[in-house]
Structure 1
Amino acid sequence: MNKNPKAIARVLLVEDDEDDFILTSEYLNQLTSHSFEIDWVTNPTEALEQLNLGKHDICLLDYQLGAYNGLTVLEKASEDGCSIPIIMLTGQSDEALDQSALAAGAVDYLVKSEMTTARFARAIRYALARQEIENERLERINAETQNQSKDRFLAHLSHELRTPLTSILGYTEILLNSNKAPHAESELNIILNNGQHLLGLLNNVLDLSKIAVGKLEYNFSTINVDSFIADIFCLMQVHAADKGLILKMHAKNALPLQIYSDPVRLRQVLINLIHNGIKFTETGQITLTIWTEFINEQELIKFSVADTGQGIPEQMLGNIFKPFEQVEDFISRKEQGAGLGLSICTELIQHMGGSITVNSVVNQGSEFIFSIDPGDIADQERVLLAFEQEHTSHEIIALTPLQGHVLVVDDMDDIRQLIGQICQSFGLKVSYASNGLQAIEQCKSAKENNHCFDLILMDIHMPTLDGKRAIKEIRALKLDNAIIAVTAATMKGVKQELLALGFNHIVAKPIDKNELYQGLANYLSIENQSSALQNSVQRFLVVEDDEDAADVTVLLLESLGIEAVKAQTAQICQDLLIKENNWTTILLDLHLPDASGLDLAHSIKQSHPNIRIILVSGATVAEPSLKQAGINKAILKPINLEILKSLI
């Protein structure tokens, strides 16, 4: 039978008497707990040199070293920050000397005559255990420091790459939407597509890095299944049509109207899988199938994305979910990618309580099947959803002009001008500042002239004075106007930090025009337009807990010249009704986190009988229930432009 090898301990023995060195070495080698490697020095100078190297696990230090004593070594080692445990060896017991040794930094003291006793073994074991604890502490500190360095690197990488992409994508879109380069539309589209591809690769690399250090954020909330899937279908149908492919979607069985998961990450997984299906398919179709299934007595919601594409070689099936594995390397180099998408999908799905598998035959196609935990859906109403595909509209929505004076603060000239041009395209007046200090001076000047900016768009990373310090100074001026942070930093906790500093909203770089408009529209007035629709002075209150669905509905209404405000809970709705009394219509979701839409409608009708209430639901609601709640009309999700026109 093989015995476990002894742990090896490296000992520094400071002893000027050779006989004592030999005896001490023999006593150490008789101990059964460790194998000892002994380095022998004879004077204080050599002792301190060795201790400063930090390569020993323990030091045995003789008190009497010729004309010097060991206390001198102890005191100097402590001053130099030595962390190696030192045991003082003395010729005879002396309580005063023992106390002096401990005070100078020794972990223990031993009389040389005690080296044959159990006390010697205990002292050695204790000192080595203490050193192991110290080593673990140092390793932990080192690991934490490395993780902090990784965080700083990722934040810096994100900022440095997103900043130029902001200019590339932003100015390309401006040129495409203008008449400045009518003969270069094809070339501009190539730039735009490749810029977006580069942004996608960057997002994948950063996501994988965040997963590795546990910094990827997850935000679970209620998802309205029908509208959620319909939105993804609308988006990906366009990409499929561009390649002449058909995108199909259906449900195998009745589905719950709502599930509880992370909508952003679920959307990321579905888009990635459907995009891959489109990418590797030349003819035929991609099919998204959804159903529920009990696995180990737990009801999961399952998704299948199947294509009729080139398939995956059998020898690759075990590797495709690993980072940096690219299926196309084994087939062709026609398609590009970093091989990160499926690895990220696997991590996201596991975080959502599920797993993913793949079946594939070369030249016939592939099918990816994954599941997620939908939360408690036992009591959920089930409907065989068709996802309202026939209501999908790809009509381009014109953004309603905004009113106000905006200060754009950014140290990069091209990005500052880009953001300014986008704001001007929204109808806004724009001023500029290249750093936080200039922004503060402009705010002071504007306040002295009784003209404050309606909104400030503030970059975070700037020389002279950054955005974090600048907002503190601006808020100290008692200016309560909205300030939106513009940042390329996407690490976990950044949003919470910026909101805590006083920012009202965060817009990520590269700048997405619609996202920027949405952020501005939350704080600025809509420009009055002379149209029949606006002359009717209609004001809509959109009561919807799904933030994306609420924002889209508000933007659609505003594109029709209707003033619209969103409320994500029944309580916020009630507060707005008390605060303002000129609402004409309420678009009311059936399922809210704090109340039923039917109950809320009944309450509203009691106090505001003249307000028109339109119930928005994923399934048909019985007519008697609608009448009892005082609801004027009910419509099925998803809401589109044509439906809203008919309501107006």
Structure 2
Amino acid sequence: MLEKKARILIVEDDEDDYVIAKDYLEELDEYKFTIDWVATPNEALKKLELNQHDICLLDYQLGAHNGLTVLQKATEMQCRVPIIMLTGQSDKVLDKAALDAGAVDFIVKSELDGPRFARAIRYAIARQEVQKERLERINVETQIRSKDRFLAHLSHELRTPLTSILGYTELLLDSDKAQPVCHELNIILNNGKHLLSLLNDVLDLSKIAAKKLELTPTTFNLNSFMADIYTLMQVAANDKGIELTLVSTTALPEEIHCDPTRLRQVLINLIHNGIKFTDSGKVSVSVSAKLENNQYTLFFEVVDTGKGIPTEAIDKIFQPFEQVEDTISRKETGTGLGLAISSELANKLGGGIAVKSTEGKGSCFTLSISCPNLAGTKLCYLSLHRKVTGEKIAAITPLSGRVLVVDDVADIRMLIGHTVKTFGLNVDFAENGKQAVEKTLSSIEKGHPYVAILMDIHMPEMDGKEAVVEIRKRGVKQPILALTAANMKGVKENLQTLGFDNLVSKPIDKMLLYKHLSLVINAKTTTKCAPQEQVNLQQIEKQPQYFMLVEDDIDAAQITQILLESLGVKVEVVHTAQACREKLTSRKNWDKILVDVHLPDENGLELAKYLSTQNRSKEIVIVSGAEIENAAITSHGASRAILKPLNKEKLLELTL
């Protein structure tokens, strides 16, 4: 039988009695005791105050002093050591007094050699073990809560200045003043975005460690999904002069049910690492599928011709804060969190990540995930073939006008928008078909219609096909180009039947995109409503919207106000909850009130709860540097929360 260890304090002024108690304790074979002995009340209290013992045997009579006094003082100083009172003879009054004072038991000294003493010791030690486990659990829970609070506070404190850094930089880049320092501003912008991505990595790892990261699975088109990833990664590959290929080695389900955000995060990390550690050659991505028991396992294999990974480092690369470049080169930057997060996410997606590598020759990372076999889904190969135009983009004639870019993936929206801007065009954005319809009609109502609309096909809420049908139903004749990775026979004809003017294949080729836009814009298609079918326009944004912004950070408040005003919103800024309460009655009704969570005089959620009872705002929006649970948002009267740093695109969504 395994021996249990325990530390016992004996408080006894008679050395003979101490020796007797010690001998009987040592006869308890299942325990190995470490025994300390003190003879006075003061010594006893000093020892008990340390809470270092598992049990204390306290003599009732300590010379001129009473053991009850020691017991009472130990209880007052919140001593956690179980105390058993030892008495010379049985006394019901004394026994009750000892228990009332906090003793866990009382034993007559003549019973030290009996079973009652052994039971009392076992009970007291068991009780102490339970108490220790409870305290350890409380300490761990307290530490987790403290860590969560710290990370939430850190997130907010970092995201607030990032709002100013990124916001003002983008504002300057959009202005005529940027030309002489455009390169320097882009460096600031890129490094600010890099800092934001590192912050997101740390928060993701914290959520994973605390088992708080939840997946949001949905059904989406795999071909379009992979085309978007290829489009994004092609930019990084081109910058390094590396060939990037993406193929499917088996037929794949046309649609899969998975968390697209987390799958995209893992794939982009693996492909980005391949590009980062490859100085010449290529990065190849291949996708395959295997069906077993009505469940698909998808395999994404990322092979590079880079520097490879030393054998001794392979076991470490999925550990947090471990970087391959530590053993190869200090040239590359990063926290070393990407692969650790990717591995954990792959596990949550029902698979994992395997790696093979030869130093100096390259690496192969294989991501596997599990997806249910969706009823009715077709099987097809990826269709991501690009046509090479052989023409230089530098020779283009600038275009003019404003184009609407519609895509539910923020990175793709921004990438296409940036490309369109290089053609001389202004850009507006929408993230789904519903927003596209509203913005298209609003642009006509204001007298500034878009010269063209670039519309993704696969989007939530309302997809591109539904949106184009709705727009054409209103009699709108603006040219609309479909963005799609589907190049099968008949797709173009089907899309044109729905109302699209043409099709732009994903991954986007810059020169082909320019040609398509040039054709529809130079055709001088006028936007008119069919005479027999007048556009039934709602009174969208005829009157300016009025927002109140409650933000204590002066710089963040100022850039947010500037960005909102550039969108045609009238903004009143206050910096405290009290100022918000005072300003509230200055208007009969506010369109929106944006409330920062961390205010100097009141928690923003509590302020939102108060504002919701006043019925003076159509919507209350929480602004936070850390994610807030939906239950907390709705219970405090707000409709939604937006995460810092704020930018023009996020604020644009609030004006719709």
Match of 1:398 in 2: 428
Match of 2:618 among 467, 475, 481: 481
Match of 1:505 in 2: 640
Residue 268 (structure 1) shift: 0.6
Match of 2:486 in 1: none
For residues 311 and 39 of structure 2, what CA distance do their matches in structure 1 show? 68
TM-aligned CA distance change 1:231 to 1:520, over 3 Å: farther
What CA deviation, in whole Å up to 9, does each residue of 1:439-460 have, x standing for no partner? 222111212xxxx221122211
Residue 104 (structure 1) shift: 2.2
- Asked if structure 2 preserves the Cα contact closer than 8 Å seen for 1:488 and 1:509, the reply is yes
Match of 2:175 in 1: 178
What CA deviation, in whole Å up to 9, does each residue of 1:352-378 have, x standing for no partner? 110111223344432211101113447
Residue 298 (structure 1) shift: 5.3
For residues 61 and 277 of structure 2, what CA distance do their matches in structure 1 show? 80
Residue 255 (structure 1) shift: 1.7
Please state if 1:210 is matched with 2:207: yes
**Structure 1 residues without counterparts, runs of 5 or longer:** 522-648
Match of 2:538 in 1: none
Letter in 2 for 1:440: R
Match of 2:222 among 219, 222, 225: 225
For residues 618 and 127 of structure 2, what CA distance do their matches in structure 1 show? 58
Letter in 2 for 1:234: T
Match of 1:470 among 607, 618, 623: 607
Match of 1:426 in 2: 567
For residues 244 and 210 of structure 2, what CA distance do their matches in structure 1 show? 36
TM-aligned CA distance change 1:295 to 1:277, over 3 Å: farther
CA-based RMSD of the aligned residues comes to 2.4
For residues 318 and 84 of structure 1, what CA distance do their matches in structure 2 show? 45
Residue 317 (structure 1) shift: 2.5
Residue 221 (structure 1) shift: 2.5
TM-aligned CA distance change 1:365 to 1:45, over 3 Å: closer
Match of 1:459 in 2: 596
* Secondary structure of residue in 2 paired with 1:310: coil
Residue 278 (structure 1) shift: 2.2
- Asked if structure 1 preserves the Cα contact closer than 8 Å seen for 2:597 and 2:604, the reply is yes
For residues 371 and 510 of structure 1, what CA distance do their matches in structure 2 show? 33
Match of 1:346 among 333, 340, 343: 343
Residue 269 (structure 1) shift: 0.6
Match of 2:98 among 101, 126, 140: 101
Match of 1:444 in 2: 585
Residue 214 (structure 1) shift: 2.3
Q: Which moved more, 1:316-325 or 1:262-271?
A: 316-325
* Secondary structure of residue in 2 paired with 1:19: helix
What CA deviation, in whole Å up to 9, does each residue of 1:377-407 have, x standing for no partner? 4763323342687899653532467641222
For residues 177 and 80 of structure 1, what CA distance do their matches in structure 2 show? 66
For residues 371 and 594 of structure 2, what CA distance do their matches in structure 1 show? 38
- Asked if structure 2 preserves the Cα contact closer than 8 Å seen for 1:507 and 1:516, the reply is no
Please state if 1:271 is matched with 2:268: yes
Residue 415 (structure 1) shift: 0.7
For residues 83 and 436 of structure 1, what CA distance do their matches in structure 2 show? 44
Match of 1:10 in 2: 7
Within a 5 Å distance, the mapping from 1:350-429 to structure 2 comes to 350-377=347-374, 380-386=377-383, 394-395=419-420, 397-399=427-429, 403-429=544-570
TM-aligned CA distance change 1:325 to 1:18, over 3 Å: closer
Please state if 1:258 is matched with 2:255: yes
- Asked if structure 1 preserves the Cα contact closer than 8 Å seen for 2:605 and 2:622, the reply is no
For residues 105 and 179 of structure 2, what CA distance do their matches in structure 1 show? 85
For residues 98 and 298 of structure 2, what CA distance do their matches in structure 1 show? 69
- Asked if structure 1 preserves the Cα contact closer than 8 Å seen for 2:593 and 2:617, the reply is no
Please state if 1:280 is matched with 2:277: yes
Residue 44 (structure 1) shift: 2.7
* Secondary structure of residue in 1 paired with 2:587: helix
**Structure 2 residues without counterparts, runs of 5 or longer:** 388-406, 422-426, 430-438, 444-540
Residue 183 (structure 1) shift: 0.4
Within a 5 Å distance, the mapping from 1:620-639 to structure 2 comes to none
Match of 1:133 in 2: 130
TM-aligned CA distance change 1:61 to 1:227, over 3 Å: same
For residues 307 and 511 of structure 1, what CA distance do their matches in structure 2 show? 36
Within a 5 Å distance, the mapping from 1:520-539 to structure 2 comes to 520-521=655-656
Residue 335 (structure 1) shift: 1.9
Match of 2:80 among 80, 83, 92: 83
Match of 1:241 in 2: 238
TM-score scaled by length of structure 2: 0.73
TM-aligned CA distance change 1:196 to 1:97, over 3 Å: same
For residues 105 and 363 of structure 1, what CA distance do their matches in structure 2 show? 71
- Asked if structure 1 preserves the Cα contact closer than 8 Å seen for 2:295 and 2:372, the reply is no
Letter in 1 for 2:420: E
Q: Which moved more, 1:33-42 or 1:365-374?
A: 33-42
* Secondary structure of residue in 1 paired with 2:7: strand
- Asked if structure 2 preserves the Cα contact closer than 8 Å seen for 1:507 and 1:519, the reply is no
TM-aligned CA distance change 1:190 to 1:105, over 3 Å: same
Residue 127 (structure 1) shift: 0.9
For residues 211 and 264 of structure 2, what CA distance do their matches in structure 1 show? 20
Residue 428 (structure 1) shift: 1.7
Letter in 2 for 1:122: R
Match of 1:198 among 183, 195, 198: 195
* Secondary structure of residue in 2 paired with 1:367: strand
Q: Which moved more, 1:314-323 or 1:8-17?
A: 314-323
What CA deviation, in whole Å up to 9, does each residue of 1:149-200 have, x standing for no partner? 1111111221222222221111111110111232000111111111112222
For residues 42 and 136 of structure 1, what CA distance do their matches in structure 2 show? 31
